[in-house]
Amino acid sequence: MRETYVDSAYRPYKAAVAADLLGKEGYVVEQVAGAETIQLYTNGIPLGVLHSRLEGQDVWTVRLIGKGGTLKCVAGGAINSPAYVKPANGGKVVAAASGNLSIGVKTSPVVAAADGDVIEVVDNLVTMP
């Protein structure tokens, strides 16, 4: 068990497989079950969004979901503004449907996003109405 706690929007995590996270800043990650490592989101609990890699290490800084403000995410398809978004398998975000667990609301850019676009999401973990 960790002896310290993070009172910040960011926390460092070791990658389960470092090569899988290279160049994936803005992708949603989840914690590997039973471990203190992370991987790209598949179908678990969204933990946060990859922010940056610590130089020369297999540790990444993760922007935690639920800390307020906005997140920089990578779109996995067409998303209008405003629109609830959810993580998709592989870590990109897609438009959410009624009843989905949303990680927030796309606010920018105001034009529809396409697959691979970097978008701004207002941090708001909620089940979409």
Q: How does DSSP assign 44-58, residue by residue? A: S-EEEEEEEE-TTSS
**Quick check: 3 pLDDT over 90?**
no
Closest CA to 79 of 94, 57, 99: 94
Give the model's confidence band at 63: pLDDT under 50 very low, under 70 low, under 90 confident, else very high.
very high
> Cα–Cα distance between 59 and 12 in angstroms, integer?
6
Q: What is the pLDDT of residue 2?
A: 55
Mean predicted lDDT score pLDDT of the chain? 93
Q: Which has more confidence, 4 or 71?
A: 71
Give the model's confidence band at 118: pLDDT under 50 very low, under 70 low, under 90 confident, else very high.
very high
